[in-house]
Every structure is written in structure tokens, then in C-alpha cells.
Structure 1
Amino acid sequence: MKVIVAGLPKTGTKSMSAALKKLGYNVYDFLENLYYLENEWEKIFKNKYDKGLFQKMYDNVDAVADLPACHFWEEIHRDFPDAKIILTVRDSEDVWLKSLMHHIEKLDNHVLARIIQVFEIMQGRMAGLMLTLSYKVILGIDRTVLGKKTTMNELLLKMKYRAHNAHVIQNAQPNNLLVFNCKEGWEPLCKFLEVPIPDDAFPHANIRASLVDTAPHHPLAIKYQHEVLGSLAKGLLKCSILVILILFIANLLFW
């Protein structure tokens, strides 16, 4: 692990992930954590964390960003003390809050995402609940799977943003921390990481929560959806066979 992006969601974490990938880093963002580390995050959220777990999780990973890892930046850094820490921020807490609320609203209105989550719960999968649990544990946002729109307390969310950023700034070693706004571009980032500045423009991803619409088409998301729907189909087939068998036996017994 070389880089830990400690910024909260909607602080440019997707742009940062894209930038780090351009610089040659192997990055685990939300989707990679969801798909490859489902079982490990289940242990963490169920309070079954073992010392050194993050070291095993990210042994072959160069950088990590976004939920839920940003909340555990300090614990990850303990397992990787040489990793650099980047705190991504927005122009102000109001700008961040507006972006977050728009993102949650789009998630609430995304029918496919809600349907997939229901199927995941039916199969006891942890991955589909990671986003819901992350928002609840880290930001205090209680997202329901069915129907109800998410209620957000703007004052408390701003306090969460302030508290998280202050904690990172206070506890990370100053010479090992970059407080970074993606508007600053390549120069401060590359200087901090001690790498050459690319010729390409600095990437800007997930503008106005566009990722909510594009994420289902990501190769990992497609693979995961196929697994969930495939497992559901197998389960329904087994139930159908069981029902037919019961009816057949009942017919033999009573007729």
C-alpha cells in the first residue's frame, strides 16, 4: 500500500482514483472493495476484526479510496506505516453537502440498484449492504432498501465532514499528508507522490453523481449482478423442484 485516500465520498475520490490509475497505481475504489473484499468487510462491520486484516486485504494493492476504506484510514495506515495519506476536500462544506445530497437522491431513484439490493439481502450477501452500512456508520445516513426516500440532517452532515477532516489533519504526520482539492490539478499531487507530471489533463470523474448511472456498466458491477441474479435463479429453480416434488408425493399419498 502506497497511498491512502482519506477523503469522504463526494470530495473528488473518483477523480483521485482515476488520477492514481493514470500514474500507474493499482487502486481499490468502492467497487473493488465491494467485489473482492466482501467477506473481509463483513468481518469488520460485524466487529470480528483481527489485527493485520488490512495488511492481508491490501497486500497487493497500491492505493485505496472512497467508502468504506476512507473511514478506516488510520487503521489501514497502522498496517502500512509507509503509505502516504491524501485528504481530498471540496471548496467548502456547503459545496460538499450539496453534492452528497444530489448523489443520495440519485441513488434513491435508481430502481435497478434497489432491486439488486433486495436480491442480495435474500441471498445473505454482504456486498450489496456495504454502501448502506457505510453511509449509516460513517455519515449517519440511514438508507432503506425499499421505497422510502432517505432523510438527511444537513447540520449533522456538515459536522461529520468537519470532524472527519479535522481528525485526519490532526492525526496524520504533516510531512506525510496532502490536503488536496482536485481543482489544483497534477502539480501538487505529483510533487507529493514524487512522480512525473503526466501530459494528459487531470481527470474529473463522477460529476453530478454521473457514476450512479454508469457504475452498473462497470465490468465488476456487471459480473457481480450476474452472480446475484444467477444465484437467485438457481434458488427459484430449487424451490420450484421442491414444490413439484411435494405435490407429487401428496398426490401419491392421498389419491
Structure 2
Amino acid sequence: MAVTEHEVFGRPFSTDPSRWRDRSTSGRKVPTEVLVLGMPRTGTASMVQALKILGYHDIHHMAACISEPLQNELWHQAVDAKWFGKRKPFERKEWDVLLGGCMAVTDFPSSAFAEDLIMAYPEAKVILNTRPVDAWYRSANETCGEVLRDPSLRMFALAGDPFCSRWTPMVRALWSGFFGIPDGPFGFGGDLMNEDILKRRYVEHYEMVGRLVPKERLYEKDITEGWVGMCEFLGKPIPAVPYPRMNDREEFSRSMGVMVQAGVARLRRLSLKVVGSVFGLVAAVWLLKRLL
């Protein structure tokens, strides 16, 4: 099988499952110093680049769940435990397995577990990245909503695609659990982008983080802000480069296209194998009859 390497959300993504990294044997390697616990679509991709410039390494973002598909099984376990009561909730030991190499986290799925991570890492500083709720919903609906409404990702998952069968169910369960919106059968028919519910949970999330984190450990960062307040809070010098401004929506659309194309290619190869196997079986039966 030809191996194709892509870049998805700024991280390498291989079409070859044998190259996927398994985090299940990992543990704590570096301290988790910063928890960026605002919602997705609040400048999280720019935040990843900003934290890298400030010297933090391996910042966990949804992109990691794409570039390392095997970790989605662990995230799905965390989702099942927190919102669906299917297992024991994750504690620091389990979070260390998932996030042990990360000095910081941002974006879903991490920020969906804000309360859990605040308790697991009480020494970490917390940044609450924000934007007006109406603007947030429009952005989320045009990007996250695109993923949740896309039938191809669900069909690939049902067909057993090695990536989509791990990532798509985790993402849908995470969204359903966090926002409290039941998904439809096999991921079809659920109203996961209900505007009223999403906006209410957005406000509740920010209020909850504000209550849980002591003021000296919390910095609220508007999406339009640059380096100054963030660097003062983290005790870092202001870099001599502009604050990164990623074209999040453009990168999102491009990366989703890469993922869908990779799924189509894998499904095509699987179909050819099935057709080849059936043809081979028919030929074997015909040859056997000729010999007999």
C-alpha cells in the first residue's frame, strides 16, 4: 500500500495505520503547566502557535486526535466515563497517559474536561480564551457543524475505516455529552448544533471555570488580544514577533478535505480487495469443477 503523508491542522497525518503512535503506554514526561480551557473556535490554533513560541512543547489540540488516531480510543473512554456512566471517571493517572508529554492543552477534547483537568493539575495556570457568544456560535456552526453534519465521515466509520471508526464516534459522543444533546441512531438525525443549547452551555462553561480557578491562576484572554497580558500572566518575555493569527476556518476546511479524501482512498482499496477476493473465490470454484 502506498503511504501518503499529509499535514492536518499543522500536524503530520499518515494514511498508513501502522505508523500511528500509541499513547496508551505513555506516562507523565513533562509537567502540565498551562490549561487553555476556552471553547473551540476561540483562537485555539493561534494559541498553539503562541505557546510554542513561548517555549511550551506538544500542546494538545484536536489536531493531535487526528494525527494520532489511536488516542481517540482513550478519549472515548474518558467521554463514556464523564457523561455516559460507562466506566470509572479519569483521574490524574489516566490523564497522564493521554497528556503526559504535553506542557499545555487547548481546544476540545481537553477543554471539555475543564473541571477534571483543573482538579488533576492544580498547579497549572489557566487561560480562558473567549469571544462573544453569537460570533462563537456562527463560527462553530460553519466548522464543527460541518463535521457533525457530514454524512461521509459517518459512513466511513460504519464501514470500519481505521481512522473514522475511531475519530468520528469519539467526536460525536464528546459533543453530545458536553452539550447534553442526544445523537441520532448511528450518528444520523441528531440536532447537535441546536443554537439555544450551545449558547447556554457556552456561558455555563465560562462561568464554571471562573468559579473553580483562583483568580491568581486565571487569565481571561479575548480572541483579539495579543502577547502582553498573556505573557505577564505566564511570566514570559514578550516575543519579538507578532502574535500568530492563524486562518482557522481556511485551515479547517482544507484539513477536513484531506481527511475525507484519505477515507475515500482507504475505502476504495478495501473495495478492490473485497472484489478481488470474491473473484478469486469464483475462479477457484470454477477451476475445481474443471479438475473434477
TM-score by length of 2: 0.71
Question: Does residue 12 in structure 1 map to residue 46 in structure 2?
Answer: no
The CA deviation at 1:66 is 0.6
Give how far 1:121 is off.
3.5
Partner Cα distance (1:59, 1:42) in 2 = 17
1:123 aligns with 2:163: no
Report the secondary structure of 1:188's partner residue: helix
2:72 matches 1:38: yes
Tell me by how many angstroms 1:149 deviates: 10
The structural deviation recorded for 1:39 is 2.4
Report percent identity of matched pairs: 25
Matches within 5 A, 1:74-93: 74-90=115-131, 92-93=132-133
Q: CA deviation at 1:146?
A: 8.9
Contact 1:17–1:65, Cα closer than 8 Å, also in 2: yes
Mark the CA change 1:120 to 1:105 in structure 2 (over 3 Å): closer, same or farther: closer
Match of residue 139 from structure 2 = 99
Superimposed CA distance per residue, residues 20-45 of structure 1 (whole angstroms, 9 cap, x where no aligned partner): 12212121111113333222113223
Deviates more, 1:196-205 or 1:163-172: 196-205
Residue 21 of structure 1 corresponds to 52
In structure 2, what is the Cα distance between the partners aligned to 1:76 and 1:2?
11
Secondary structure in structure 1 of the residue aligned to 2:224: helix
Q: What one-letter code is carried by the residue in structure 2 that aligns with 1:129?
A: P
Partner of 1:133: 173
In structure 2, the CA distance between the partners of 1:230 and 1:105, relative to structure 1 (3 Å rule), is closer
User: Compared with structure 1, are the counterparts of its residues 140 and 99 closer, same or farther at alpha carbon in structure 2 (3 Å cutoff)?
Assistant: farther
State the alpha-carbon separation in 1 of the partners of residues 80 and 145 from structure 2. 28
2:286 alignment partner in structure 1: 251
Aligned to 2:34: 3
- Hey, what's the Cα distance between the residues in 1 that align with 2:264 and 2:142? 29
Task: Mark the runs of 5 or more structure 1 residues left unpaired by the alignment.
Answer: none
What do the CA deviations read for 1:153-188 (whole angstroms, capped 9, x no partner)? 322222111111101101112211111113221111
Higher relative contact order (CA 8 A, sep 6+): 1
Q: How far apart, CA to CA, are the structure 1 residues paired with 2:152 and 2:102?
A: 31
TM-score (norm 1): 0.80
Q: Is the 8 A contact 1:12 1:181 kept in 2?
A: no
Match of 1:240 in 2: 275
* Structure 1 residues 7 and 123: alpha-carbon distance in aligned structure 2, compared to 1, 3 A threshold: same
| Runs of 5+ consecutive residues of structure 2 not aligned to the other structure | 1-31, 82-86
- Structure with the largest fraction of helix: 1
Compared CA separation, residues 210 and 168, structure 1 to 2 (3 A): same
Distance 1:100 1:73, change over 3 A: same
Change (3 A) 1:154 1:43: closer
